């Protein structure tokens, strides 16, 4: 027999996870749509040259690409997408005359990376992306952070912090140290500060160029890390950064941009406690050119970012001569769900319908079919138990699978055209309700349960 286990880094998802997952996805879709974003879809498989073009992804990500070769195909021609942003840039370059700019899109789908599996890290995972293409506006930058906040708050994610920076500020730091030519190497190392600590980043920065490092002197590494570590907190850190870097035009522009974004977030009623500045935040991907975002759940920072992104003004230039600046972010659905599950904050359920119809022994099942159809017509989900077994066992099934109510029609009820309505949590039962009040009775009972008022 074949071993039914899945490959390393991949998972089967049971209903207890899939049901809250689907509800969360619906919440995200509704949030994205409420800000005017429209859905698109791109293929899971892209041409390798699309995914590996200069600036499309960091060397680390590119090493994790899954190559796809069909039998008799050409090796190195196709690959699975590693994110949804690079395919977006290709999509816009191909369809920009049809969609126009500014173009606000969202896309939700699986991406694939051959990285080492770990807690909250998988080789296949779902990203929920939203991006605005065709504008340099700081309003679009701020709206990205505002949507992150709105989506996570609507999904009842525990308290979280959206951390902001602007890559122009870090570029200014490197210019003052005459290290602009090594920005990619330096920023990728700096991005690991929270994971490997100051000593680890210092060692990476000092590694000679021939060994893949930046070859920085101890003084250069120390000045970069001192700046990064001192630049964490609220808006006041921008004042300190301006005092030390204000003469550098790139850094000054980055600081001004961040201040404007904070102003817009305040206007959009994003609570100040949900936003933080980290002037060492770089993000690992090479295509970011301006604002960058990372979001962590307070107290669960070890899981890493659950929503991240930034501005990428030059990415689409890989595929078109037309300048198409963009900004966007991605919510990492699977990492978020893994975090919520471990935190005990995932509202698990194994049923998608709140009402269970009993299949009472000796009663024509067509009665349950007819009554359930009436409830579905008014938007109330119902499941009919398929076998006419002992009713107590059917009620146990309903309780186990998360049904809220049970409708029971026994022989006496069938003769009187009535039903009993049972709360599966409290076992309270209203008896002898007429079929004519079915919809109103079930709707009212569900409303009580949703408001935390249990029948007794």
Q: What is the CATH number of the domain that holds 244?
A: 3.30.930.10
5, part of any domain: no
Give residue 145's domain range. 15-343
Distance in angstroms (rounded) separating the CA atoms of residues 417 and 420? 11
Contacts of 100 (CB under 8 A, 6+ apart): 134
**Extended strands (E) in 187-323:** 232-233, 275-278, 291-297, 307-311
455, part of any domain: no
- CATH number (domain holding residue 381): 3.40.50.800
Token code pair at residue 181 = 């030519």
DSSP 3-state of 33: helix
349, part of any domain: no
Strand order in the sheet with 382-384: 382-384, 355-357, 405-408, 418-423, 429-434
User: Is it true that the peptide bond before 286 is cis, omega within 30 degrees of 0?
Assistant: no
Quote the pTM value. 0.86
Q: Which of 125-138 are b and which e, b meaning 16 or more Cβ less than 10 Å from the residue's Cβ?
A: bbbbbbbbbbbeeb
- Asked if 28 and 104 sit in the same domain, the reply is yes
- Asked if 274 and 138 sit in the same domain, the reply is yes
Domain tally for the chain? 2
- Asked if 339 and 359 sit in the same domain, the reply is no
Token code pair at residue 235 = 């808006």
CA triplet 24, 20, 346: central angle to 5 degrees? 105
Query: Which helix (H) or strand (E) is 190 found in, with range?
Result: helix 183-190
Question: CA–CA distance from 398 to each of 113, 391, 415, 436, 439 (Å)?
Answer: 39, 11, 25, 24, 20
DSSP 3-state of 443: helix
Which of 321, 343, 365 terminates a domain? The answer is 343
- Asked if 311 and 366 sit in the same domain, the reply is no
Q: What are phi and psi of 178, to 5 degrees?
A: 55, 45
- Asked if 143 and 52 sit in the same domain, the reply is yes
- Asked if 128 and 187 sit in the same domain, the reply is yes
Q: At which residue do the structure tokens 């349950």 appear?
A: 368
Contacts of 351 (CB under 8 A, 6+ apart): 15, 19, 383, 398, 401, 402, 403
Token code pair at residue 170 = 């870090």
CA neighbor of 216 nearest in space, from 199, 227, 203: 203
DSSP codes joined into one string, 346-403: ----S-S-SEEE---TTS-HHHHHHHHHHHHHTT--EEE-SS---HHHHHHHHHHTT-
Which of 292, 320, 343 terminates a domain? The answer is 343
- Asked if 143 and 191 sit in the same domain, the reply is yes
- Asked if 164 and 307 sit in the same domain, the reply is yes
292, part of any domain: yes
Which of 343, 364, 386 terminates a domain? The answer is 343
- Asked if 319 and 404 sit in the same domain, the reply is no
2, part of any domain: no
DSSP codes joined into one string, 297-360: ETT-GGG--SEEEEE-TTGGGGT-SS---EEEEEEEHHHHHHHHHHHT-----S-S-SEEE---
- Asked if 237 and 314 sit in the same domain, the reply is yes
191, part of any domain: yes
- Asked if 79 and 204 sit in the same domain, the reply is yes
156, part of any domain: yes
- Asked if 71 and 132 sit in the same domain, the reply is yes
115, part of any domain: yes
CB 221 within 8 Å of CB 202 = yes
Token code pair at residue 303 = 């899981």
Distance in angstroms (rounded) separating the CA atoms of residues 40 and 104? 10
Show pLDDT as tens, one digit a residue, over the chain (456 residues): 999 998 888 888 888 888 999 999 999 999 999 999 999 999 999 999 888 876 555 566 678 889 988 887 788 899 999 989 889 989 998 998 999 989 999 999 999 998 777 666 788 999 999 999 999 999 999 999 999 999 999 999 999 999 999 999 988 888 888 777 777 777 787 878 777 888 887 787 878 877 767 777 788 888 888 787 777 888 889 988 888 876 889 999 999 999 999 999 999 999 999 999 998 888 766 678 899 999 999 999 988 899 999 998 876 777 888 888 999 999 999 889 889 988 888 876 778 899 999 999 999 999 999 999 999 999 999 999 999 999 999 999 999 998 999 999 999 999 999 999 999 988 999 999 999 999 999 999 999 988 766 555
Distance in angstroms (rounded) separating the CA atoms of residues 184 and 343? 36
**Regarding beta strands 275-278 and 382-384, do their DSSP bridges make them parallel or antiparallel, or are they unpaired?**
unpaired
């Amino acid at each position: 027999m074949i071993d039914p286990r899945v490959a390393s880094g991949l998972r089967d998802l049971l209903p207890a996870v899939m049901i809250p997952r689907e509800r969360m996805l619906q919440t995200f879709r509704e949030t994205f749509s409420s800000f005017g974003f429209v859905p698109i879809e791109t293929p899971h498989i892209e041409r390798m040259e699309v995914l590996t073009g200069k600036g499309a992804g960091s060397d680390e990500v590119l090493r994790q690409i899954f190559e796809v070769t069909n039998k008799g195909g050409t090796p190195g021609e196709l690959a699975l997408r590693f994110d949804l942003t690079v395919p977006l840039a290709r999509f816009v370059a191909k369809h920009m005359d049809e969609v126009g700019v500014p173009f606000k899109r969202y896309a939700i789908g699986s991406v694939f990376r051959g990285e080492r599996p770990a807690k909250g890290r998988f080789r296949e995972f779902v990203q929920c992306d939203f991006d605005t293409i065709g504008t340099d506006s700081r309003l679009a930058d701020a709206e990205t952070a505002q949507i992150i906040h709105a989506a996570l708050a609507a999904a009842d994610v525990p308290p979280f912090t959206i951390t902001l920076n602007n890559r122009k500020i870090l570029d200014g730091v490197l210019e003052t140290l005459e290290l602009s030519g090594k920005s990619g190497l330096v920023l990728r190392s700096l991005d690991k500060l929270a994971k490997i600590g100051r000593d680890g980043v210092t060692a990476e920065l000092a590694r000679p160029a021939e060994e893949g490092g930046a070859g920085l002197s101890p003084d250069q590494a120390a000045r970069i890390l001192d700046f990064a570590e001192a630049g964490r907190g609220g808006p006041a850190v921008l004042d300190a950064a301006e005092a030390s870097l204000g003469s550098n035009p790139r850094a000054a522009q980055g600081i001004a941009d961040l201040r404007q974004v904070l102003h817009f977030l305040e206007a959009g009623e994003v609570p100040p406690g949900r936003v933080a500045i980290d002037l060492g935040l770089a993000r690992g991907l090479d295509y970011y050119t301006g604002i960058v975002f990372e979001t962590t759940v307070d107290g669960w920072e070890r899981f890493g970012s659950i929503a991240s992104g930034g501005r990428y003004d030059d990415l689409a230039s890989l595929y078109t001569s037309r300048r198409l600046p963009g900004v966007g972010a991605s919510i990492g659905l699977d990492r978020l769900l893994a975090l919520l599950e471990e935190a005990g904050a995932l509202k698990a359920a194994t049923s998608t319908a709140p009402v269970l119809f009993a299949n009472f022994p000796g009663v024509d099942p067509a009665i349950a079919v007819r009554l359930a159809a009436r409830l579905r017509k008014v938007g109330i989900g119902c499941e009919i138990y398929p076998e006419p077994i002992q009713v107590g066992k059917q009620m146990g099934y309903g309780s186990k699978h998360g049904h809220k109510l049970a409708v029971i029609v026994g022989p006496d009820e069938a003769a009187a055209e009535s039903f009993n309505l049972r709360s599966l949590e409290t076992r309270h039962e209203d008896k002898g309700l007429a079929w004519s009040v079915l919809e109103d009775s079930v709707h009212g009972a569900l409303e009580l349960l949703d408001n935390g008022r249990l029948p007794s």
